[in-house]
Amino acid sequence: MRDSAFERLFGCAAIAATIVASITVAACGGGFQTGGGISGTSVVFGQIGGFGSIIVNGIEFDTTNAVITLEGDPATENDLRLGMVVSVRGIVDPGGLTGTAEIVAMEDLLEGPVEGVNVGDGTFMAFSQLVITDAETVFDGTTLATLVAGEDVEVSGFYDADGSVRATRVERKLVGVEIEIKGTVSSLDLVAETFRFGLLTIDYSGALLEGLPPGGIVDGLFVEVEAAAPAAADLLTASGVETLDQILMADIGDAAAVEGFITAIVSADEFVVNATQQVIITPDTRFEGGDLGDVVLNARVEVDGTIDQDGAIIASEIEFLAP
């Protein structure tokens, strides 16, 4: 099983240096702009929409001195691709349109063989998960029309409220394929040592477990599962299970801009994006492209705000995006 994103890249001494640097920068504070947007020390989570250096959630980040990782491995800006979903930590300039990236971390949602394709519906299956594509999905090395069962792909995107993957990028993989999928634990069976991602049952009885909370695996935990062989008959035998922070590198008080789908409605003033990120609505929250009544399951949104002590985003603005 691979080390955590920081451990894979830095090692213990450099981790400490990075944390100290982050605390120093955080003293400047994050914030948001009147009329929308964020500034200051910020974490931005979304798909790469353009280059020069990279554009994420409408913010153009200079990556000249940034530490960049792909799936935890060291990389450069030349390795980043359109449609990849990344977490960017850095400083966003006043005005909220440009910034300087300190860290750029890309993590996919799944990598492995296609199990079936429905060109008419714009979908395919992998790991017993429905992968939904649209006109904005970036295909690399393949198209939906030419994709066939058995071919290996790497998929970036977001989970929706139905547990389907909304793909922002689909890349054909010819070499170096790692069988892996990320998701939220459900239907945990401590006796059988299994849990589920949607229709997929994962047997972790022989897996190396890393980064788990004191209580071990629990329902609702966001994890990465690795396997030595593809799933068969909706069953994946895990070789490793690791807890992940789906939105990396956020500290209390940081500004945040997070793109994704509403996956749970907790109350009239609280919902969840991308299965893990809690969002709090306040009387001061502004809406763009909709209103409070549009806060529904599977709405695609960008949430701007500030990270609180519980890791929730206190929303300053919620923008409704085209699904």
Ordered DSSP codes for 100-126 = EEEEEEE--SEEEEEEEEETTTTEEEE
Give the class (CATH, top level) of 255-320: mainly beta
User: Which string of DSSP letters, residue by residue, matches 204-247?
Assistant: -TTPEEES--TT-S-TT-EEEEEESS--BTTEEEEEEEEE--SS
Do the strands 129-132 and 123-126 form a parallel or antiparallel pair, or are they unpaired?
antiparallel
> Looking at the chain, which residues constitute the CATH 2.40.50.140 domain(s)?
110-172
Query: What is the predicted pLDDT for the residue at 14?
Result: 36
- Distant-in-sequence, close-in-space partners of 25: CB < 8 Å, separation ≥ 6: 41, 91, 102
pLDDT digits (tens, 9 = 90+) for 36-72: 479 899 999 999 999 988 999 999 999 999 999 999 8
Instruction: Using pLDDT thresholds of 50, 70 and 90, give the confidence band for residue 32.
Output: very low
Query: What is the predicted pLDDT for the residue at 37?
Result: 76
CATH number of 179-243: 2.40.50
Residue 251 has pLDDT above 90, yes or no: no
Q: Is the full-model pTM beyond 0.85?
A: yes
Query: What is the predicted pLDDT for the residue at 125?
Result: 98
76/53 Cα distance (integer angstroms):
11
Fold held by 110-172: OB fold (Dihydrolipoamide Acetyltransferase, E2P) (2.40.50)
Instruction: Using pLDDT thresholds of 50, 70 and 90, give the confidence band for residue 16.
Output: very low
Query: Is the dihedral angle over the CA atoms 75, 81, 85, 89 positive or is it negative?
Result: positive
Query: What is the predicted pLDDT for the residue at 17?
Result: 34
| Type of residue at 241 | V
**What number of other Cβ atoms are within 10 A of residue 150's Cβ?**
10
Judge whether 169 and 81 are in contact, CB under 8 Å.
yes
Judge whether 211 and 224 are in contact, CB under 8 Å.
no
- Distant-in-sequence, close-in-space partners of 181: CB < 8 Å, separation ≥ 6: 109, 110, 111, 112, 127, 129, 197, 200, 224, 225, 236
94/98 Cα distance (integer angstroms):
8
26: phi then psi, degrees, rounded to nearest 5: -60, -25
